[in-house]
Chains A and B, each alone.
Chain A
Amino acid sequence: MNKITYSLNYRKPKGEYLPDEEVLICVRYYHKANNAAPKIIKKSTGVKCKLKDWDTNWHKKECRSPVKSSDKDFKSKNSLIEQTAKNFEQYLIQIQKTPELKYSPKLKSNQPDGVLKDKWTNHKNKINLVNPANKRLIDIIVVGTGLAGGSAAATLAELGYNVKAFCFQDSPRRAHSIAAQGGINAAKNYQGDGDSTYRLFYDTVKGGDYRSRESNVYRLAEVSTNIIDQCVAQGVPFARDYGGLLDNRSFGGVLVSRTFYAKGQTGQQLLLGAYSAMNRQIGRGKIKMYNRHEMLDVVLVDGKARGIITRNLITGAVERHSAHAVVLGSGGYGNVFYLSTNAMGSNVTAAWKAHKRGAYFANPCFTQIHPTCIPVSGDHQSKLTLMSESLRNDGRIWVPNIKEDAISIREGKITPLDILEENRDYFLERRYPAFGNLVPRDVASRAAKERCDAGFGVNATGEAVYLDFAAAIIRYGKEEAHINGEDENNETLVNKLGTAVIKKKYGNLFQMYEKIVDQNPYKTPMMIYPAVHYTMGGIWVDYNLMTTIPGLYAIGEANFSDHGANRLGASALMQGLADGYFVLPYTIGDYLSDDISTGPIPTDTAEFENAEDEAIKKLNFFINNKGKHSVDFFHKKLGKIMWNKCGMARNSKDLNEAIKEISDLRNLFWNEVKVPGSADEFNEELAKAGRVADFLELGELFAKDALSREESCGGHFRDEHQTPEGEAVRNKDYQFVSAWEYKGDPKDAILHKEELNYNDIEVKERSYK
């Protein structure tokens, strides 16, 4: 029921008014929905009348005019009142009709229209380009020189832009992409096993548990084949078969062999490819390379990203650098857990500073815990080492199925070789017969945790499972013996031949394991346990890879777009290179085409000065704080909170505690952190302090994001949302991207949602059984 009435807006008791005193007239809108409490909304008409001219019986008259004719302006006043009432009513009806906006209008994904498979081609045909002569007038900053940053810097320079590239390592070749082992996916279908662009797209969306953007993933699958062609042309020595053609292997979560590899060093070889392309451009003067430089802030001029503030890690000098656009290829934030497979220097600072300047941060809680890492050995541990997923091609994962056996192993009374075949529980093969040991990473990790939590874990800590190659050695040994025409039943021979095959395939990984654990994995099964490895979340970007700050782009692991809630093996290298070689160099032109006559961006402006001052102030704060504890003290504490309460399984109680504990720890950090030395020298502790300060903010947002996502999907598993068998339960109401807007403290961050639509793929339960 709706009713419009008029009233006088008394400011004091009615009796105190004199007859000649003027009072404002207002419109009252009375609204009552079926069962709800009535609502009255008032709006001033801006019209006044004397008390003696007010008609208290206006509602009884047909014309409903409240101002009596004794007022000399009664006609115009009444018509003004009437008009106000009409407009007001119109407005209120409008509001009631519009449903509350579920998805944020601020997140424009800019996905092109049309059929999925033509989107990228159509988009490239339609976007603006910068002509070659004008590219010379445009500067671009690229932060980070891993696969994404390195390939982007090289390609942008080839196109003719002036590129300034930055890395904190002593050479771009040392970016942490180098540590990727297993391989890179591409829908080449060289093995003729039914692979296609669509299948790679399908596997990636499904693997990501339907939380990635459909059109971005299709584009990724589409350009994947170009990457392999490109890398071979650059001299990347991929593995080949005896016929001289490229070899492939299979990775978790897929049913085809589409992974190209260079032994266990694929990341290194691809990065050296991108680095060589950079070298060519550095030699030509098109890339100016800044090694050992850390980005401290991004500078916005008129709302656009126009430069960065950096610190020279050798001299300590804080510097200003300007450009027409800034590209962040600064990697992921796995080190928020302190212990991870990331490099010691990997950090979130560049991304977080961008976030603080207005770039939304998407899905921070989507983190990948990799199932096959070398278990933690003690408190001294500074990092965890990954064993490539490719090992799961031939290794079988098991724990004892008798608890007493597990205890005896932990106490060192028996070895795994003492456990009879029937007393072994190959739990992945048991739970997921279709995919077996090659289930996706999130599934494999949780299954291992489940067994260890149930008391079947091995290693002194009880936090490890076996990865056993004995069966593969026998299988390969028999095969080789057969080829050589030798005795397949000769155990010693078969063992020798099989070991040789395994050595050829995984030799460097086995050597790495032996050096760290001091056990021979050819003889005793490897021990593995899950560890933080990759972050699917990151800075929110649109289809053009632009963040919510105009002119600021994010590529590779630093952005969020392609892997949803879980990344498939060998897809990180693919995405990094796709973004850098084949996507960003095109899409950035669309933005830069407006900048052809801008001219160089000056760095002597207030914006640069303020950002620089802020950065220097923070550095000086750390030096002068003289607290009690080293940076690592806080980082380790943060890592423990993250691992225990935001790790492989999360629940609302833990997450709420984590939010509080991280916030407290952050306060303690700012009061008690101790950084030795000065700001104008090589000072690793100072660099670490700045990075950990940012992790302490990100960690809280991470927990807040995990708490707000009431479902289990991919790497995000909430105890509250699981089947009785312990499988993840996804919630279709959460088919969106959570993008957080910075508002000071992480607890005040505002959630924006981007709706995810799947038109070319059916959203199904993700089953690997």
Chain B
Amino acid sequence: MKLKLKIWRQKNSTSKGSIVNYDVDNISPNMSFLEMLDQLNSTLIKNDESPVAFDHDCREGICGSCSLYINGQAHGPDRAITTCQLHMRKFKDGDTIFIEPFRATSFPVIKDLIVDRSAFDRIQHAGGYISVNTSGNTQDANSIPINKTDADNAFDAATCIGCGACVATCKNSSAMLFVGAKISQYALLPQGKVEASDRVTKMIDQMDLEGFGNCSNTGACEVECPKGISLDNIARMNRELMKSKVL
């Protein structure tokens, strides 16, 4: 396949960026999207040009490193996958592809397509944990049975890989799907209930401090989320917040 790429190039966080055009040839439909970029980079290196910087690591859709905004969609046109799992067979010969970083005020660009998502880390530092020491002296794992529905829902919330597609997709740059998923996981489990109200307050405060917007129930985040995290988690987060204020 032959493709026309329009890629966001930006030297560093302080410089101004712009879209630069590249032509690529001999693209196999079996390549992953990132392998296509590898091929472009190897040509750029050969021609003494600067390769395109992008985040990637596991390349199997679980680490949450890759973060491209492809033709106006986080992680590209396919559903329920990350960019590294997107294959070139989803494109046609001669296509023009726009490749941009995940854009949000709270995700400043570091270089080219790489953004700084450390705001997510800081939200978790504020309260994304259960306060239990790793002493090994906790009670037996089976001493508190957890009903299967709660356990499954907690698991579904916990599958979030922290990639930030929800923020990039949201017109308000809201991080509520991410925060809601974390709060839900703990709120649904008996171990997490003990400090639930404290947690929801702290995490939401930090989320606001980082400059993320609010949710206006569009649901685009749920559609673009590579792990299919449900909007229900935002509802649950709001419920938890209400509970913490009322009770």
Residues of A within 8 A of B (CB): 151, 154-155, 158, 169-174, 176, 178-179, 188, 190, 223, 226, 228-235, 237-246, 262-263, 265, 267-269, 272, 275-277, 279-280, 282-283, 289, 291, 314, 341, 343-345, 377-378, 380-383, 385-386, 511-512, 515-516, 518, 581-582, 630, 632, 674, 676-677, 681-682, 684-685
Contacts and interface: CB of A to CB of B under 8 A. Distances in A.
B31 A380 contact: yes
Contact of A276 (B11, B63, B129): B129
B39 interface: yes
A171 B117 contact: yes
30 contacts: A158-B134, A169-B63, A170-B118, A171-B120, A172-B121, A174-B58, A174-B65, A178-B62, A178-B63, A179-B62, A190-B142, A229-B139, A230-B136, A235-B129, A235-B186, A244-B147, A262-B155, A263-B155, A265-B62, A265-B159, A280-B129, A283-B127, A289-B121, A341-B60, A343-B57, A344-B57, A512-B85, A518-B89, A630-B45, A682-B12
B231 interface: no
Nearest to B46: A630
Interface stretch (B1-9, B47-55, B214-222): B47-55
B141 A684 contact: no
Contact of B142 (A178, A235, A245): A245
A235 B189 contact: yes
A598 B99 CA distance: 53
A340 to B, nearest CB: 11
B34 interface: yes
Contacts of A280: 129, 131
Contact of B125 (A176, A283, A344, A515): A283
B211 interface: no
Interface residues of B, number: 77
Contacts, number: 210
Contacts of A228: 141
Given A176-B57, A235-B130, A169 B146 contact: no
Interface string B124-157: 1111111111101011111001111001001100
B180 interface: no
B210 interface: no
B136 A582 contact: yes
B58 A179 contact: yes
A171 B118 contact: yes
Contacts of A581: 134, 136
B142 A676 contact: no
B34 to A, nearest CB: 7
Interface of B: 11-12, 28, 30-32, 34-35, 38-39, 42, 44-46, 48-51, 53, 55-65, 78, 80-81, 85, 87, 89, 110-111, 114, 116-118, 120-121, 124-134, 136, 138-142, 145-148, 151, 154-155, 158-159, 161-162, 185-186, 189, 191-192
A386 B62 CA distance: 12
B142 A246 contact: yes
Contacts of A681: 11-12, 111
Nearest to B30: A377
Given A176-B63, A277-B129, 7 more contacts: A173-B64, A173-B121, A173-B162, A178-B62, A178-B63, A233-B138, A345-B57
Contacts of B48: 676
Instruction: Name the residue among B34, B51, B132 with the largest chain A CB count within 10 angstroms.
Output: B132
Contacts of B39: 380
Given A279-B129, A518-B89, A386 B60 contact: yes
Given A170-B65, A226-B136, A230-B136, A511 B35 contact: no
A279 B124 contact: yes
Nearest to B67: A170
Contact of B145 (A231, A245, A272): A245
Nearest to A190: B142
Contacts of B44: 676
A349 to B, nearest CB: 15
B117 A170 contact: yes
Instruction: Name the residue among A154, A383, A581, A630 with the largest chain B CB count within 10 angstroms.
Output: A383
Contacts of B191: 232-235
A385 B60 contact: yes
Contacts of B87: 515-516, 518
Is chain B's binding surface mostly helix, strand, loop or mixed? loop
Contacts of A272: 158
B28 A380 contact: yes
B85 A343 contact: no
Contacts of A268: 62, 159, 161
B163 to A, nearest CB: 10
A380 B130 contact: no
A742 to B, nearest CB: 29
Given A230-B134, A263-B155, A682-B110, A174 B64 contact: yes
Nearest to B82: A515
A282 B89 CA distance: 43
B50 A233 contact: no
B63 A684 contact: no
Nearest to A580: B134
Contact of B38 (A226, A382, A511): A382
A243 to B, nearest CB: 6
A386 B60 CA distance: 9
Contacts of A155: 134
Nearest to A169: B57
Contacts of B161: 178, 268
Q: What 3 A-B pairs are tightest by C-beta distance, nearest first?
A: A244-B145, A276-B129, A226-B136
Contacts of A243: 145
Contacts of B141: 188, 228-229, 231-232, 238, 246
Contact of B60 (A174, A383, A684, A685): A383
A272 B121 CA distance: 12
Instruction: Name the residue among A169, A239, A515 with the largest chain B CB count within 10 angstroms.
Output: A515
Nearest to B161: A268
A229 B140 contact: yes
B58 A378 contact: no
Contacts of A685: 45, 51
A401 B120 CA distance: 54
A335 B134 CA distance: 32
Contacts of B85: 512, 515-516
A700 to B, nearest CB: 26
Given A237-B185, A245-B142, A265-B159, A223 B136 contact: yes
A234 B132 contact: yes
Nearest to A263: B155
A267 B30 CA distance: 28
Nearest to A151: B134
Contacts of B142: 188, 190, 245-246
